[in-house]
Structure 1
Amino acid sequence: MASVLQDTATHETSRVDHLVRGSIDLHCHSGPSVMARYCDHIEAMREASDAGLRAVLLKDHYYSATPVTELLNKHFSDLGVLMLSGVPLNNSVGGINVHAVEHGIKLGARLVWMPTFSSANHIAHHKHDEHFNEKFPQTTQKMLAPIPLSVLDGDGKLKEEVKAILDLIADADIVLSAGHLHISEIWPLFEEARKRGVKRLLVNHPTYVVDASLDDMRQLASEGVYMEHSMCMWVPGSKFRFYDPQFLNDVIEAGTVDLTILGSDLGQKGNPTFTNGFRHVIETALELGYSEADVRKMTSTNAATLMGI
C-alpha cells in the first residue's frame, strides 16, 4: 500500500513539474528593489531556467526593468528564458508620464502598468485598512508620502495625458495593465483604450485592491480582458495567502480558462520561491479538476497570447 501511495505521489510530482516547464510568469518581483527581495534579476532568470520556464516578466513598482531584461536576453541567452518588463506609472517615474512610456517602449517595454502603489485607490486602501502593512509588501526604508494618482479628472473623465499614453500603447501593440486602479476607473480606461486601438488588456489581481466582483470579472471576460491572479495569495507559506482553493475555482470560472493567467507575484523575502509558487498552484488547479490542457492555458498559453510571444 505504501508503495502504491509513493508511486502516486511521484507521478503527481512528475506531472506538476511537466506543467511547470514551459510556463510563463508575468509577475516576478526580483531585485534590486527598495523592497526586500530573496533574489535579484539574474538569479530569477537562473531559477526560471532550472525549472524550465519559458519566459519571465520582471515587475518593480518604482522603475522599469526593461534595460535589465535587454541585457539579460543578450548575455544570458544560453539559459533559454525570455525576460520581459514594462513601465510602471508611479510617482518615481513622474506619475502618468507620456515621456516615460515613450522612452520605455523605445527600449523594448512590452507592457505599461497604470499606477500601482501611487494610485489613489491603493493609497485609500492603505489609509482605511489598519492591517494593510501586513497584507502588502512595504519598502525597507521610509519613502516620501505618495501623490495619489488617478486616470480620471475631477469630473470623472479620462485625463488627456492618459489618452496620449493609450495612443502610444496602441501604436506599439503592447499590453495595457490597469495597475492598482479601482474597478470603477478601469471601465472608462478600457473603453477609451479600445477606441484608440489598444488590443491587449490586462487586470492584475482583480479581486485584491482593484475590488472587482465575480460579476465584474464575468463582464471583463465578455469584453476579452485577461485577468491575472497572484499565486502568492494561494501558496502555502506565503505571507499573502488570503484565499482558499474554492475561491481560485470561483475566479477561474468567472474569468474563464481562456482569459485567466496565473502569475506568481512572488520574489518577496520570506515568501516561497516563484517557481515553487507555480508548483503549488498548478497542483491546486489539478486537484480542482482542471485538465492539463486547461492548466497549460492558464500558466503559459494565455500569457504568451497576451504578450505576443
Structure 2
Amino acid sequence: MREIINELLDGSYDLHVHSSPSHVKRTTDDIDLIKTASEYNMSGVMIKNHYEPTSGRAALINSHFNFSTKAYGGVVLNTPVGGINPYACESALNLGAKIVWLPTRDAKQSLKYGNMKGDFFNRKGISVLDQKGRLIDKFKEVVEVVKKYDAVLATGHISDEESYKVCNYALEHGIKIILTHPDWVRTKIPVEEQIKLASKGVFIEKVWANLDDGDCSKYEFIEVMKKTNFENIFITTDRGYYTKKSPIESLIDCIEFLLNEGVDKKDIAKMIKTTPKFIMKGE
C-alpha cells in the first residue's frame, strides 16, 4: 500500500495548511513544510494564516529554494486586514495570492461558538449579509477584484445561509468558489446540499482534520464524493496545529483511509491532483 500512497502523493496538492510564522503554535514552519512536501514530489501546498496574507511568504520560498513543491499564498478577510476589504484582496493578489477566504475565526457564524484556541483579541463578528439578508456591497467589490486576478474565492467560516448566497453569486459572476470544510461543526452543510452545490460547479473541500477529529462521520466525508462521481471535490488536511500530526503525515493517513474504504486510486488522484491543479489554474 505504501507504494500506491507514494504514487498518489507524487504530483498532489494540499490547498489548506497552517504553518509558522503563526499566531497559533504549529507543527512546522513554512520552509520545512515545503521541503517535506518536495521529498514526496508534491506539486503544491497552500500556506494559510488567519490574520495575515501569506503571498509574500510563498514568493520568498519559491524564489530562494529549489524545492519541487510550489508554495502558494492567500489572504483571509478577518479583522486585521479590515474584514470584507477589497483593498486587502487587491494587495495580496497583486503579490501573487491565489485564494481569498471570507472571514474565518472572525466570522459572525464562527464566533457563535466562541473563540478558537490562539485567538488573542475581542471583536464583533463579520457577516457578508446586511440586516435584510442581502449580500453587502463590499463583498461584491471583493468578487470583482478576485475576478480581475482570475483568483479563487472560499467561504471561510461563514454560515450556511451566507455560503449558499455567496456560492450562487460567485458562479453567476464567473469566478471559482470553494465551499470551505462543510463537514466541520462550525460550518456544517448537509450532505445533500454539498452535492447540489458541487453539481452547480462549486468546489467542495473535504478536510481530513474534520473526520480525524470526529467532527463528521465517514458517511458525511465519503458520500459526497461518491454521489458526485468525485467531480468538483478536493481533499485538504487543514493540519498544522501542534498537538496533531504534521500536514504531510495527515495527507498520508487520509489516502490510506480512502484506499481502505475501497475508493479507487484514480478517484483519489482526481481529488488530490486533478481538481486542485485545475483550481490553481494548472500550475
Q: TM-score, normalised by structure 2?
A: 0.95
Aligned position for 2:90: 102
Pick aligned residue for 1:220 from 197, 201, 209: 197
Long gaps (5+) in structure 2? none
1:253 to 211, 219, 226: 226
1:21 aligned onto 2:10: yes
Map 1:223-302 → 2, pairs under 5 A: 223-235=200-212, 240-302=213-275
1:298 to partner: Cα distance = 0.9
Q: Distance in 2 between matches of 1:53 and 1:124?
A: 37
Give the alignment partner of residue 155 of structure 2, picking from 173, 178, 197.
Answer: 178
Matched AA of 1:106: N
- List per-residue Cα deviations over 1:264-289 (Å, max 9, x = no partner): 10111021111111111111111221
2:277 maps to a residue whose letter is A
SS of 2:14 mapped into structure 1:
strand
Correspondence list, 1:141-160, <5 A:
143-160=120-137
AA aligned opposite 1:228: E
Fraction of identical pairs, as percent: 27
State the distance in 1 between where 2:20 and 2:83 align.
21
Task: Give CA deviations for 1:110-139 in whole Å, capped at 9, x if unaligned.
Answer: 11000000100000123xxxxxx7xx5x11
TM-fit CA distance, 1:295: 0.6
Match of 1:70 among 27, 35, 59: 59
Amino acid at match of 2:256: E
Contact 2:167 2:202 in 1 (8 A): no
The alpha-carbon distance between structure 1 residues 265 and 255, as it changes in their structure 2 partners (threshold 3 A), is farther
RMSD (CA atoms): 1.5
Deviations 1:163-213 (A, max 9, x none): 111011112111010111111111222222233332x11011112122210
Deviations 1:50-92 (A, max 9, x none): 222110000011111100101111111x211111011100001
In terms of fraction of residues, the more helix-rich structure is 1
In the alignment, which of 174, 181, 204 is matched to residue 205 of structure 1? 181
Secondary structure at the aligned position of 1:80 is classed as coil
Bigger Rg over Cα: 1
Query: Aligned with 1:87: secondary structure?
Result: strand
Letter in 1 for 2:3: S
State TM-score, norm by structure 1: 0.87
Deviation at 1:23, TM superposition (A): 1.1
